[in-house]
Amino acid sequence: MNWNDWILGNELPIRLGFFFGIFAVMAVWEVLSPRRALTVSKGIRWINNLGLVFLNSFVLRLLFPAAAVGVAVIAQQRGWGLLNLYEVPFVLSVVIAVVIMDFVIYLQHVMVHAVPILWRLHRVHHADLDYDVTTGARFHT
């Protein structure tokens, strides 16, 4: 089994592992070194915010089962993309890909603030009554 097949076969556990791993580190950091006092019960907010995470993840999996990973595999197989045109060391290609992906996510965020119909969906992210580690995961479908 090659690397691509392994990633495709384990995409969900890989995503969940990264999500819960980073979430746990951030949650512990927040408990050990809080930046502000919360005004709403952490338990209620965590249930609501994480409920949104699981609901949205479930809906997206139903609507777009392997969209991002599937498109990435097709792009690699067909040689699409700048990183397929040049010989670049693997580590550098990962750094470049992460920086570009982060920039595209930033542009998407600017767009959901600027386009009224998208803002109506996105404002659920800004409607949280407090701000903690779960706020960053509070998204919409």
Write out pLDDT tens, residues 11-66. Answer: 789 888 998 999 999 999 998 998 888 888 888 989 999 898 888 888 887 877 77
* Helices (H), ranges, 10-135: 11-32, 42-63, 67-78, 90-114, 116-126
Q: State the distance between the two ends of the chain, measured CA to CA, in whole angstroms.
A: 34
* Domain span holding position 132: 3-137
Q: Which backbone phi and psi does 41 adopt, to 5 degrees?
A: -55, 130
What is the model's pTM? 0.66
- Tell me which of 41 and 103 has the higher pLDDT: 103
Please check whether residue 128 is in contact with residue 135, taking contact to mean a CB–CB distance below 8 angstroms: yes
- Give the total number of structural domains in the chain: 1
Write out pLDDT tens, residues 86-96. Answer: 888 989 988 99
